[in-house]
Structure 1
Amino acid sequence: MNKFEIFTNELLKWNKTHKLTNYNEDEIKKQIEDSLYPLEKIKDSKTAIDIGTGAGFPGLILAIAMPNTKWYLVEPLKKRYSFLNYIKTILNLKNVEVIRDRVEKANLPKVDLITSRAVMKTNDILKIIKPFLKKDSTILLYKGSNVLDELQDIDASIISRGNRNYLFIKGEKWAK
């Protein structure tokens, strides 16, 4: 089995008792595909933070696909944090550190890439990630169909795929 299959099987097992997600096997596979879709644009990042990783989307999935990138997965909820650490261990993901905290309180370095999926509105997330941005950082936000409503005064590029919008923002304007 590859790492994505192991992840899928373990998430399905954990869901039975811990209800991390409502996804069935097919939906998990779609979430993995969704997480990996923008990989080509971010694959050269050396360091990354994923905010609100939840059951692993997109941060853990990207960490599997990007073994040479140091990933900080930020997840404040205990059961999700525990699951992420468990998966990190069984998949031997040496490039992953799981942080049990809210990003606003976390002690994290400045990174090349910050990702997040469905955590909060774009303006709100841009405010709280400032301490972790470099001038040349990339911000990748996984957004739904209402993404345009959140982009007043934000210079961004968008890749759309079905109802998913991958929002890319350069860190230079937002870095402290």
Structure 2
Amino acid sequence: MTVHDEHEARSFCAGYTDDEGLKRLDRLAVLMLAENRVQNLIAKSSEEFLWRRHFADSAQLLAYVSRKTSPWLDLGTGAGPPGLVIAAMRPDTVCVLVESRRKRAEWLSRAALELGLTNCRVEGRKLESVESFSAGIISARAFAPLPKLLDLSARFSTPDTMWLLPKGRSAGQEVQDLPTPSAALFHVEQSATDPQAGIIVGRGRPEPA
């Protein structure tokens, strides 16, 4: 399915959560737009496409993982997607959001509290300072070039860890540029919200660079 507009985006999200989850997303939309007047969370041009560009874009990652897979580690969460969106949609999934920028981390903590997300923990520090744990899923939307991302986060991965990395137009090339042992773990899926974008999907523990 390709998501073209806000109505389709809301329907798309509804396929991955329940009515309460949709209500939390409605509330999150209000919080994000209000905070965007205080700090630059998202591009102003994307505000009218919030459900497609940010919520459905995050929700599509749920198609690649079992509902019981946890915890979910999201790197460089920033404005909220995908980690905070996933936490709002799936309150039974433990979500750890890593964000080193103080104002962004404070926003994520306030939003999680406002939404009642007891499943969500915000780590307001660099990933290098976060204590290691075994992540069931690792996601990142705009964190770092792929080799650096894998190097920094490999200690959180296991042979069963799922990697979900929206990478835009560069997805295929970034996988091709990886060393062979690591490249074999990954493939690219088409984004449901952008026909020109890809999602790097993989399973396992990458070899150190």
The TM-score range, normalised by the shorter chain, is over 0.9
Q: Secondary structure at the match of 1:109?
A: coil
Report whether the alignment pairs 1:79 with 2:109. no
Distance 1:105 1:163 in 2: 35
The match for 1:164 is: 197
Q: Secondary structure at the match of 2:35?
A: helix
Structure 1: 5+ residue runs without aligned partners? none
Shift in Å, 1:38: 2.3
Give the ranges of 4+ consecutive aligned residues of structure 1 lying more than 4 Å apart after TM superposition: none
Distance 2:126 2:105 in 1: 12
Distance 2:68 2:145 in 1: 26
Q: Which residue identity is paired with 2:189?
A: I
The match for 1:5 is: 26
Identity of aligned residues (%): 24
Distance 2:48 2:132 in 1: 34
Distance 2:84 2:160 in 1: 23
Distance 2:154 2:205 in 1: 10
Of 123, 126, 137, 1:102 maps to 126
Higher strand share: 1
Shift in Å, 1:11: 0.9
The match for 1:37 is: 60
Asked if the contact 2:154/2:205 (under 8 Å) is kept, the reply is no
Shift in Å, 1:157: 2.1
Q: Which moved more, 1:21-30 or 1:90-99?
A: 21-30
Taking structure 2 as the reference length, the TM-score comes to 0.78
The match for 2:39 is: 18
CA RMSD, 1 decimal: 1.6
Of structures 1 and 2, the larger Rg is shown by: 2
Q: Which residue identity is paired with 1:28?
A: L
The match for 2:17 is: none
Q: Deviations over 1:123-162 (max 9, x none)?
A: 1111111111112111111111111221133121221121
Q: Secondary structure at the match of 2:58?
A: helix
Is the alpha carbon distance of 1:173 and 1:10 closer, same or farther for their aligned partners in structure 2, counting shifts above 3 Å? closer
The match for 2:85 is: 61
Distance 2:82 2:113 in 1: 18
Asked if the contact 2:69/2:137 (under 8 Å) is kept, the reply is yes
Q: How many pairs are equivalent?
A: 175
Shift in Å, 1:165: 1.0
Taking structure 1 as the reference length, the TM-score comes to 0.92
Asked if the contact 1:8/1:25 (under 8 Å) is kept, the reply is no
